């Protein structure tokens, strides 16, 4: 029997491991909502079907040279044509880790989400430097809040 639970897609890219730690904690928080299925993937492994089947999306990207990770952009490139008219209003949130300030990566991802006509439902998280334990706890809370909002139909 196929699952009827709503799905939250969590995609990320991590080269050095910091973003994976952050994405793990986001997904951990989202998984607390038992009626939401968390689909957790490296951006390179996520595809258009993942996007079309989800009820919300969270995007985790490091900032490289003032921009989002290329694999996050690649995900958008691979899914845009097939999904742009089918995911209008999709709830989304972004979390970024940066050595600089993270604003460039956030701005780029927001611009692409605007092209899809997605709906930002929570404040994005931007962490400069290595995340402290409180940052990771905040990411867990962000994940759980997004999942709960999707579950209850708030988002």
In order of start, what are the domains of the chain with their CATH numbers?
A: 6-146 (3.40.50.360)
The pLDDT tens digits of the residues spanning 101-132 come to 999 999 999 999 999 999 999 999 999 999 99
CA-wise closest residue to 115 among 151, 76, 63: 76
What are residue 7's phi and psi, to 5 degrees? Answer: -115, 140
Instruction: Please report the pLDDT score of residue 1 as a whole number.
Output: 46
Instruction: Please report the pLDDT score of residue 99 as a whole number.
Output: 86
Contact 144, 138 (CB under 8 A): no
What are residue 43's phi and psi, to 5 degrees? Answer: -55, -35
The pLDDT tens digits of the residues spanning 3-20 come to 589 999 999 999 999 999
Read off the DSSP letter of residue 131: P
CA 3 – CA 25 distance, rounded (Å): 24
Instruction: Please report the pLDDT score of residue 100 as a whole number.
Output: 83
Percent of the chain with pLDDT over 90: 95
pTM attached to this predicted model: 0.95
CA 88 – CA 104 distance, rounded (Å): 24
């Amino acid at each position: 029997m196929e699952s009827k639970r709503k799905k939250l897609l969590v995609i990320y890219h991590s080269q050095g491991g910091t973003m994976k730690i952050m994405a793990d904690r986001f997904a951990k928080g989202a998984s607390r909502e038992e009626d939401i299925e968390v689909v957790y993937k490296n951006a390179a492994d996520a595809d258009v079907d993942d996007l079309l089947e989800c009820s919300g999306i969270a995007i985790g990207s490091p900032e490289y040279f003032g921009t989002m990770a290329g694999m996050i952009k690649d995900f958008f490139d691979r899914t845009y044509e097939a999904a742009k008219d089918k995911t209008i209003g999709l709830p989304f949130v972004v979390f970024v880790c940066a050595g600089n300030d993270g604003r460039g990566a956030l701005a780029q991802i927001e611009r692409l989400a605007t092209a899809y006509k997605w709906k930002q439902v929570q404040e994005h998280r931007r962490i400069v430097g290595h995340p402290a334990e409180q940052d990771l706890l905040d990411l867990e809370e962000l994940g759980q809040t997004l999942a709960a909002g999707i579950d209850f139909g708030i988002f």
